[in-house]
Amino acid sequence: MEMKQISETTLKITISMEDLEERGMELKDFLIPQEKTEEFFYSVMDELELPDNFKNSGMLSFRVTPRKDRLDVFVTKSELENDLNLEDFADMDDIANMSPEDFFKTLEQTMRDKSDSIAQDRLEEAEKAETILEEEEESFSDYVHYVLAFDRLEDALTFSKAVDFDIEASELYKWSDRYYMTILLNVQDKPNFHANVMYARMLEFAKESDKTRAYLQEHGVQLLYTDAAEQLKLVKVD
């Protein structure tokens, strides 16, 4: 595992496939939010030598990005703001009718929500920057990750029924009026051109996505987990 400090508030932890395997984890474990993955993140944090400004920093927010041959975990501090702004109270209920206890509970939650929003913005910015660097690198890997777009659910069904090659994991999202499917391919022991050929075949039934998996996780609605393509294949179409 490797750790890199991207900014004063954000870290990037790179976890190899070997590291995952040693800890009994797989890439597809991170496609479904679960207690197991959260415990894994915190155990990793315990193993690494954190910068001083991250120690005892309060809440931490995580964003997971599957790469071709590893897992990138972006971590940012999510602390309550010290300076209050009247705008922070805009969405609170009528404070005049609150007990002191309810007021402070509501205030704390409002500030935590604001802090979490800031943390998510930091994570998204960090991931975008790292993705640009990733696309500029050329490296062989065992896994390739794609995001496909569909104008209609029927198009996603057609795609799934046409798939006749192995998919390691897949998810289905809806955002706005479109559907999106993430595809994880295992290209281990395959020719170097295999991933490009598979992607070209997928684009016969799908469109290139202008949204990343991280964006869909934050803004979209997840409809199917892990084996979306296989589940859609079972749907009967009249």
Give residue 99's domain range.
2-136
Same domain, 110 and 173: no
Number of domains in the chain: 2
Mean pLDDT of 108-119: 51
Q: What is the pLDDT of residues 3-14, one digit of tens each?
A: 888 777 788 888
The two counts, helices (H) then strands (E), for the chain are 7, 9
As beta bridge partners, residue 76 has 10, 61
Q: What is the pLDDT of residues 212-230, one digit of tens each?
A: 988 999 899 999 988 999 9
Among 64-73, 78-87, 99-108, 196-205, the minimum mean pLDDT is found in 78-87
Cα–Cα dist 108/130, whole Å: 33
Q: Does a structural domain hold residue 238?
A: no
Cα–Cα dist 148/158, whole Å: 13
Same domain, 165 and 131: no
76 by Cβ neighbours in 10 Å (0-12 / 13-18 / 19+) ranks as: buried
This prediction's pTM: 0.48
Same domain, 155 and 228: yes
Cα–Cα dist 74/46, whole Å: 15
Instruction: Please give the DSSP secondary-structure letter assigned to residue 193.
Output: T
Residue 59 corresponds to which amino acid?
A: M
High-pLDDT (> 90) share of the chain, %: 27
Same domain, 111 and 161: no
Residue 80 has pLDDT above 60, yes or no: no
Q: What pLDDT score does 157 carry? A: 95
Same domain, 72 and 170: no
